[in-house]
Amino acid sequence: MGVEIERKFLLRSGAWRGAVRRSAEMRQGYLAGGENVSVRVRIAGGEARLNMKCGGMVAVRREYEYAIPLDDATELLDEVCAGPLVEKTRHWVEHEGHTWEIDEFSGANAGLLVAEIELDDEHETFARPDWLGAEVTHLTRYYNVSLVNHPYREWSEAERKAADASA
């Protein structure tokens, strides 16, 4: 059994851009997405993967991931997954011994930026870069599976201001 320990944050500034060590465009969709489990198909960098996360939209949950044929993933994304698909560029940034994954969304979620850090232990401490904003791990609307049903372009003015105010 795999376990993912991940925390999500908004960004306070664009200062992280100068520290990007690599980036990749990603296209993903969901075959199932509920309160306690999601099943995702993702294409990134010419590779395709099937991913299952179990345990809800929380910092610690079970995760399983498997490589699948690129043609199968393309067919699933184009013909089976609910829309809109989640499109983003992921940027990897190193900061004091940890790798931050910064997702810069496009398409239906254009304008949204979310930073994630994966940890080895849920109580692990980590250095917070100056460009890091408010933590949103506990807010389900920031999870990719939620962005399919309620994309950023459909967020109310109050939701957008709340996001901006907490950063």
Catalytic residue among 30, 142, 143, 152: 30
Signed CA dihedral, 137, 67, 111, 98: sign only: positive
Q: What backbone phi and psi angles, to 5 degrees, belong to 14?
A: -95, 15
Q: Per the structure block, which two tokens stand in for 32?
A: 């199932």
Torsion angle of the four alpha carbons 136, 86, 44, 110, in this order, in degrees rounded to the nearest 10: -80
- CB-based contacts of 101, cutoff 8 Å, min separation 6: 90, 91, 92, 115, 116, 117, 118
CA separation for the pair 45, 27 (Å, rounded): 10
Q: Do the Cβ atoms of 159 and 3 come closer than 8 Å? A: no
Q: Per the structure block, which two tokens stand in for 115?
A: 């930073």
- CB-based contacts of 162, cutoff 8 Å, min separation 6: none
Query: What is the helix (H) or strand (E) element at residue 99, kind and residue range?
Result: strand 98-106
64 is catalytic: no
Q: Which active-site residues does the annotation give?
A: 30
